[in-house]
Amino acid sequence: MWKMFIPFLCAMVLAGCARPPADACQLLAIAMEEGDFAEAWYIEAGQVLVRCGIPNAAEVAAGKACAARRFNDNRVECK
């Protein structure tokens, strides 16, 4: 299922939608909370969630991205 959702999400971001559908926003927020993804995924997801109107989505995404980077390189320090 995730393999079908990610291209849809990328197409939405590239299309420059002003506000994604609420169901997509909710699904993306849950995925960001529960999943383990690459650093770039968290950054892109945070940008989309900001468009959804979710408060401090960018800060949460930056923290998750740093944790993902730290997973691959333990010299990275996150706040």
Q: What confidence score (pLDDT) does residue 1 get?
A: 55
* Region of 53 on the Ramachandran plot (φ > 0 left; ψ -120 to 50 alpha; else beta): left
Q: What confidence score (pLDDT) does residue 10 get?
A: 61
Residue 61, number of CB atoms within 10 A of its CB: 23
Residue 58 burial (C-beta neighbours within 10 Å; 0-12, 13-18, 19+): middle
Delimit the domains of the chain by residue range. 21-79
Give yes or no for a contact between 29 and 49, defined as CB atoms under 8 angstroms apart: yes
Q: What confidence score (pLDDT) does residue 17 get?
A: 53
For 19-72, the pLDDT digits (tens) are 667 788 899 999 998 988 989 999 999 999 999 999 899 999 999 999 988 888
